[in-house]
Amino acid sequence: MWLFLTVYDRFAILLQVKIAIVKSGSLFKLVVLLRSDRYGDLDMPTAIRRNYDSIDVAKFVLSIFVVVIHIHPFEAYTVFLRPVLRTAVPLFFLISSYFFFVRHKDLPTLDDRVAHLEKYVSRNLKLYLFWMIVLLVPTIKYRQWFANGFFNGVCLWFRAFFTDSTFIASWFIMAAVIATIIITISSRYISNKVLLLFSLAPFCICCLLCNYRNTAFTQAHMGSIMSTGINFTSYWVALFWVVTGKILAEKSFENSFSQRGLLLLSALGLTVLYAEQALVTSRGWAVADDCYFALPLLCIPVFLLLLSCDIQVGCARFLRSASTVTFCLHATLQYVLRDCFGCNASSNMMLIIVLMSSWGLTYLILKLERMPNLCWLKYSH
């Protein structure tokens, strides 16, 4: 029996499959898990984490949330869906930050930490540049940056690269990178508590610019608020979530609450979030709904709840890759179908088309990237 297991294990390594032998009484069970590197884990060693397939499932679901935000299906239910959909970006920030800092905090030397940060930046820039090049033509057509000359277009592109989006919805990638760099460097000199307090200021300003822009307070101080240069689709809004992810990673809060307690906290956060939405919509204060003051009350316990779930999913690698491909591709694909090819499909049908196309492309990429000449496709996810 043990000889068979040894031979099988050697064969499994060649197939990039990991064998877990679980002893139960006198019986042995083989649990086969696909082996892959996690986009969010940033090479976190297996020894310091349990199985986090729940995070891959969550990322897949959250990518669908992002698609729904931009395509606007189910119009009759928009008022009920929007607050929940807006948890997607904060949770993505929390996931990215947590898995970066859970590895970063245990690195012994400054050189190791610098190398780890450089690897994080490099991987995200490769992802960004891959999709920026692939989507170059529709992005130029959509943005119209070069309408007033080449030099003006280059300047607009350069500014959008760091503080906004080049291809549609790309702001998240650079926001995560810039915020992580700022927090990583600042944390050498400033405590987590001070960083959290400092990050609350831009977060609150982002909320005022979204859901509270038409309040008397915001209008009275609009000049001062706009002079800060804070934009709710840039690294400013990411700072709070990155600091929060860092604190959660360093304090190991995932073991501090029971799942029942986290469910109760999540339910409370959801109630407060919908109460806030009811308030701002009834008063006509909102011009956008990207940021809510109540989002931390929901997103943080939900994230901790996801960490506490130790589930195994055979297709975790596909889900993880599909979430990234879908996030990067969906908005530009919708623009190409509607504006370039004149597709008049309904919003509900467009949602299906975009999701099926993104998932089909993900499956194709995962197959083709195994070929030596196409290994660069791995940068797409």
pLDDT of residue 224: 86
Percent of the chain with pLDDT over 70: 86
For 185, what's the count of Cα atoms within 13 Å in the CB-facing half-sphere? 6
What Cα–Cα distance (Å) separates residue 89 from each residue in 93, 97, 155, 262, 292? 6, 12, 27, 20, 12
Average pLDDT, the chain: 85
Contacts of 14 (CB under 8 A, 6+ apart): none
SS3 22: strand
Name the token pair of 322. 């599909």
Between CA 161 and CA 159 the distance in angstroms is 5
pLDDT of residue 77: 81
More confident residue, 154 or 17: 154
Q: Dump pLDDT digits (tens) for 167-211.
A: 998 999 999 999 999 999 999 999 999 999 999 999 999 999 999
The pLDDT of residue 131 is above 60: yes
pLDDT of residue 50: 56
pLDDT of residue 19: 32
Q: Dump pLDDT digits (tens) for 236-288.
A: 999 999 999 999 999 876 667 888 999 999 999 999 999 999 999 999 999 98
Judge residue 170's burial from the number of C-beta atoms within 10 Å of its C-beta, 0-12 exposed, 13-18 middle, 19 or more buried: buried
Alpha helix ranges (H) inside 16-163: 53-71, 78-85, 88-104, 110-134, 136-143, 150-163
Model confidence at 47, in pLDDT bands (50, 70, 90)? very low
The pLDDT of residue 379 is above 90: yes
pLDDT of residue 213: 93
The pLDDT of residue 3 is above 50: no
Model confidence at 34, in pLDDT bands (50, 70, 90)? very low
Q: Dump pLDDT digits (tens) for 71-91.
A: 989 887 877 889 999 999 999
If you average pLDDT over residues 323-351, what whole number do you get? 94
Between CA 305 and CA 308 the distance in angstroms is 5
Name the token pair of 22. 């679980």
If you average pLDDT over residues 209-232, what whole number do you get? 88
If you average pLDDT over residues 214-218, what whole number do you get? 92
DSSP 8-state symbol, 32: E
DSSP-derived secondary structure for 286-355:
-S--S--TTHHHHHHHHHHHHHH-----TTHHHHHHHHHHHHHHHHHHHHIIIIIS-----HHHHHHHHH
DSSP-derived secondary structure for 195-261:
HHHHHHHHHHHHHHHHTTTTSHHHHHTHHHHHHTT--TTSHHHHHHHHHHHHHHHHHTGGGTS-HHH
If you average pLDDT over residues 293-322, what whole number do you get? 93
Between CA 110 and CA 270 the distance in angstroms is 41
Instruction: Confirm if 202 and 149 have CB atoms less than 8 A apart.
Output: no
pLDDT of residue 4: 33
Model confidence at 46, in pLDDT bands (50, 70, 90)? very low
The pLDDT of residue 11 is above 80: no
Name the token pair of 9. 């294990």
If you average pLDDT over residues 320-325, what whole number do you get? 96
pLDDT of residue 223: 87
Instruction: Confirm if 208 and 218 have CB atoms less than 8 A apart.
Output: yes
Cβ of 62: how many Cβ atoms within 10 Å?
Answer: 21
The pLDDT of residue 1 is above 70: no
Between CA 100 and CA 182 the distance in angstroms is 14
pLDDT of residue 255: 66
Specify the range with the lowest mean pLDDT, choosing from 38-52, 79-93, 127-141.
38-52
Between CA 279 and CA 180 the distance in angstroms is 33
109: left (phi over 0), alpha (psi -120 to 50) or beta: beta
The pLDDT of residue 312 is above 70: yes
Cβ of 230: how many Cβ atoms within 10 Å?
Answer: 19
Structure-token match 């597709």, residue found: 343
